[in-house]
Structure 1
């Protein structure tokens, strides 16, 4: 029997799902190790956001299983998955625009831990300390993204799902966000990240999956993908020299 540390943070087993009569993901399997960082890459429309929504419970499975820490969560609702430690930071969202920064953070805190939650968020992104009374909807795009990730952080998630961490943000903000995610990873947080900048995501992650038309076409080491011709073939960018070929799916 596996020990706790051997049990993956996330297992997706032969998942099929979609919207209405449209199937987006077909028989998809994926694993995020405990304490591991996995990049989920692919062109627009490949199904990346659909997968994150299925894992967080926003989209029901048509077939297959989703397990967290060895526990089947396939049929439990999104709010129950959130209580169990699944935290989804959606693309461009994850905050309540009409509430202040402090109120957004307090909403995620455990009862009695409101002050600590605010302190942790400000420690993660100090600029938020100057914006605590400001309505979240009036923040800059980068500050809203910081707030969404900080609000996830104060929940102590067992599994963090980040959809497009850097989309549309200034490079200096992107670096600050990834610096914080690296610190989380160093503390053994399990992270599944989608990002339009594939190189940055692969430099951050240990392993990677590439989706194409709802199916996994590559799974292997992040460095392997960076250095292979598959990087260009599937992601439309030249490979990074110096790494071995990864494992393409047939």
Structure 2
């Protein structure tokens, strides 16, 4: 039986509603490219940065069909005392799957599993390794975030803000292209690697809360300095109602 799911039905319903409203290119996944911009846009989004944020940062996505917490897609070892020597292995409890890489020594401990697959929305393992190697840690910091995502959806990193010792990424969640076979309810392993245009001191900054909005990029109030919020808080403002989640743990994922 073809893997035809409710995703296609949802797209058809959204397309019909947009057509009736006289807006066939409505704010839906069908009208967006991989970076959440209109299909057919002559140029991809250009990263824009301020003193406390970056919009559309340089990033790559790793993805694999199976979630295996004993075999993550990517991980690194931040503490020098925990790093392998003379070909030794690293204890799984010392591996970090989410956080900030701020120096070449830590980047050299970063591991990308070969099971990461190249698709229309993700890169292969070698591309990800090259992305890490080409990061300039004199002026940049690498953000690493691992979290499951439903098979029929893609995550787009919209912007990252930092203040008061916390770095907070904000995503949009969109339906994948209609010709992509997937099953509703099934989840993929997913890792985001992003270059932030600032050299952070990991002793002063850590990963804060993550925000995800459905069907659009997570809204950002222009001109307002981000401040830490309770992990259970829900951001307010216009546009789709975003869902704030706590820092990722091996048992957390995105709700449908």
Greater helix percent: which structure?
1
Would you say same fold, with TM above 0.5? no
The bucket for the TM-score relative to the shorter chain is under 0.3
Q: TM-score, normalised by structure 1?
A: 0.26
Could you state the TM-score of these two structures normalised by the residue count of structure 2? 0.26
